[in-house]
Structure 1
Amino acid sequence: MKIDVIVTEIGSTTTVVNAFSNINSPNPIFIGQGQGPTTVLEGDVTKGLEIALKNLAKNLGEERIDYNQMYATSSAAGGLKMTVHGLVYDMTVRAAKEAALGAGAVIKGITAGLLKDEDLDDIIKINPNIVMLAGGVDYGEENIIYENAKKLASVPLEVPLIYGGNVKIAKRVEELFKSHGKDIVLIENVYPKIDELNVGPARDVIQRVFEEHITKGPGMEKIRQLVTGTIIPTPGAVMKAAMVLQREIGDLMVIDVGGATTDVHSVTDGSEEMNKYLISPEPREKRTVEGDLGVFINSENIINLVGQEKFAQRLGIFEQEINNFIKPIPQTQKERDVSKAMTQMAVETAVNRHVGKIKLLYGPTGRYKIVEGKDLTQVRWIIGTGGALTRLDGGLEMLENVKRNLKGDLLLPKDNAKPLLDHDYNMGVLGAMAVNFPRESVSLMRKSLNV
Structure 2
Amino acid sequence: MERYDFHIIDIGSTYTKQRLFRNSELVATVQSPTTVKNVYSGIKNGLDLMKESLDEEKIEAEFVLSSSSAAGGLRMVAIGYMMRVTAKAAKEVAMNSGSKILEILSNEDPADFRVQVLKEISPDIILLAGGTDGGDEKSIIENAELIVQSETNAVVVIAGNLNAQRKVAKILKAGNINHIRVPNIMPTIHELRVKEAREAIHMEFIKEITKAEGLNALQQVITNDKIIPTPGAVLMAAELLAKGTYKTEGIGELVIVDLGGATTDIHSVIPQMEELDAEERGLVVTNEKQMSYRTVEGNLGLRISAVGIIDAVDSRIILEKRNLNTAEMVHEFEEYCEMVEENPSHLASNEREELFDTLLAETAVEVALKRHAGRYASEADAFKGYNTGMPIGRDLRNVDLVIGVGGIFSHNDEEKSKAIIREALKDRNMSLLPKNPKIIIDKDYLLFAAGNIMEQDKDYAMEVLKRKFLAEK
Alpha-carbon distance, 1:131 to partner: 2.5
SS at 1:292 equivalent: coil
- Unmatched segments (≥5 aa) in structure 1: 23-27
Alpha-carbon distance, 1:257 to partner: 0.9
Shift in alpha-carbon separation, 1:270–1:67, aligned structure 2, 3 A: closer
The answer to whether the 8 A contact 2:266-2:372 is kept is yes
Shift in alpha-carbon separation, 1:401–1:150, aligned structure 2, 3 A: same
The answer to whether the 8 A contact 1:35-1:53 is kept is no
**Corresponding residue of 1:192:** 187
**Corresponding residue of 2:128:** 133
What whole-Å deviation, never above 9, does each CA across 1:206-253 have from its counterpart, x for those lacking one?
A: 334423553245664443122332211111111111111111211211
Alpha-carbon distance, 1:439 to partner: 1.7
Shift in alpha-carbon separation, 1:363–1:129, aligned structure 2, 3 A: closer
1:259 counterpart letter in structure 2: G
2:161 counterpart letter in structure 1: N
Alpha-carbon distance, 1:21 to partner: 2.0
The answer to whether the 8 A contact 1:267-1:284 is kept is yes
Shift in alpha-carbon separation, 1:318–1:380, aligned structure 2, 3 A: closer
The answer to whether the 8 A contact 2:400-2:438 is kept is yes
Shift in alpha-carbon separation, 1:419–1:146, aligned structure 2, 3 A: same
Alpha-carbon distance, 1:331 to partner: 4.4
| Residue 235 of structure 1 pairs with residue 231 of structure 2 | yes
Shift in alpha-carbon separation, 1:20–1:150, aligned structure 2, 3 A: farther
| Residue 281 of structure 1 pairs with residue 262 of structure 2 | no
The answer to whether the 8 A contact 1:405-1:412 is kept is no
**Corresponding residue of 1:94:** 88
- Aligned 1:30-109 pairs, distance under 5 A: 30-40=26-36, 42=37, 44-109=38-103
The answer to whether the 8 A contact 1:237-1:428 is kept is yes
SS at 2:418 equivalent: helix
Distance in structure 2 (CA, Å) of the matches to 1:127 and 1:70: 35
Distance in structure 1 (CA, Å) of the matches to 2:402 and 2:196: 26
Distance in structure 2 (CA, Å) of the matches to 1:437 and 1:278: 31
SS at 1:170 equivalent: helix
CA-atom RMSD in angstroms: 3.4
**Corresponding residue of 2:248:** none
What whole-Å deviation, never above 9, does each CA across 1:66-108 have from its counterpart, x for those lacking one?
A: 3332221112233333222222111123312332134342223
| Residue 410 of structure 1 pairs with residue 431 of structure 2 | yes
**Corresponding residue of 1:25:** none
- Unmatched segments (≥5 aa) in structure 2: 245-250
Alpha-carbon distance, 1:367 to partner: 7.9
- Aligned 1:51-450 pairs, distance under 5 A: 51-113=45-107, 116=111, 119-120=114-115, 123=118, 126-152=121-147, 159-174=154-169, 177=172, 184-216=179-211, 220-229=215-224, 230-248=226-244, 249-268=251-270, 280-282=285-287, 283-312=290-319, 314=322, 316=324, 318-322=329-333, 323-324=335-336, 328-359=346-377, 360-361=379-380, 368=387, 371-393=391-413, 394-401=416-423, 404=426, 406-407=428-429, 409-415=430-436, 417-449=437-469, 450=472
The answer to whether the 8 A contact 2:362-2:420 is kept is yes
What whole-Å deviation, never above 9, does each CA across 1:317-342 have from its counterpart, x for those lacking one?
A: 83343345967433433332221222
Shift in alpha-carbon separation, 1:277–1:196, aligned structure 2, 3 A: closer
SS at 1:165 equivalent: coil
Alpha-carbon distance, 1:37 to partner: 3.4
What number of residue pairs does the alignment pair up? Answer: 439
Alpha-carbon distance, 1:157 to partner: 5.9
2:13 counterpart letter in structure 1: S
TM-score, normalised to structure 1, is 0.84
**Corresponding residue of 1:11:** 12
SS at 1:111 equivalent: strand
Distance in structure 2 (CA, Å) of the matches to 1:247 and 1:79: 27
Distance in structure 2 (CA, Å) of the matches to 1:45 and 1:105: 21
Q: Percent identity?
A: 32
Shift in alpha-carbon separation, 1:105–1:31, aligned structure 2, 3 A: same
Distance in structure 1 (CA, Å) of the matches to 2:52 and 2:175: 52
**Corresponding residue of 1:29:** 25
SS at 1:254 equivalent: strand
